[in-house]
Amino acid sequence: MMEFVTLNNGVKMPMVGFGTDAANAELTYNEVMAAATEAGYRMFDTAAMYGNQDELGAYLVNSGLDRSDYFLTSKVAQLEQGYENTLQAFKRTTAALQTDYLDLYLVHWPKFEPFFETWRALEHLYKEGYVRAIGVSNFEAHPYFNQHVLHNYLTELGIQHQAWSPLGRGAVLQDETLQGIATRYGVSVAQVILRWHIQHNVAVIPKSGNPARMAQNIDLQFQLTPTDMARIDALQRGERIMGAPDQNYTEDLW
């Protein structure tokens, strides 16, 4: 059974979504998405820079799902930002995805000079009803970089935290503590990490091109004990897997 979180404007969002950037999958794009849909995913996360919005839109239109059956997220890229640019980028995104609205629209990497104009465009889209919720993206979080200070700050403000790269791009899967916990629960290390995120009220968007792992990543109907939660919390090292956002904030990297 899918768990949901209610955003501060009343919109319900699945706690587990599917990262649709399937560039390295051995299956075709439609096969990847069909496997994700079969596994039970109903939140699909994409972005302008992924280059897959046309494929995703075509898949969803032909999937047999009603538009109200799934939660669709996309993001405005750095080089699309600014007020008018963002509005035009949104039109391109919705045309590619073959939908007239998004459930969630995010600023991908913030760009210093036009950030507030970009955000003003997102507010306009929200007020006009083209987007059900808005936010910012790329909050990397995983057991070695748990973002607890940021998470507490977001919680105080009523902002939902959603983890980018919740499995640390695989870098934490060999951790002995996590492996021991997974063995005791009879689940995978990935399932333990995703369950840990959810019990901290952090939404997740794992990505996989493997149908078996897709099914595992959404099968999270178990509870970690407070002791095991604390053991995973203690793995914090302050280690980023990806680049620091400050660099991306001031440079046009893509």
Q: What share of the chain is helix, strand, coil (3-state, %, to 5)?
A: 45, 15, 40
Query: At 198, which helix (H) or strand (E)?
Result: helix 189-199
| SS3 assignment, position 161 | strand
Residues in the chain: 254
Catalytic: 50? yes
Distance of alpha carbon 169 from alpha carbon 80, whole angstroms: 26
Q: Considering the candidates 50, 59, 70, 130, report the single residue annotated as catalytic.
A: 50
DSSP one-letter code for 159: P
Beta-carbon contacts of residue 152 (< 8 Å; ≥ 6 apart): none
**C-alpha Rg value of the chain to the nearest Å:** 18
Q: Please identify every residue annotated as catalytic.
A: 50
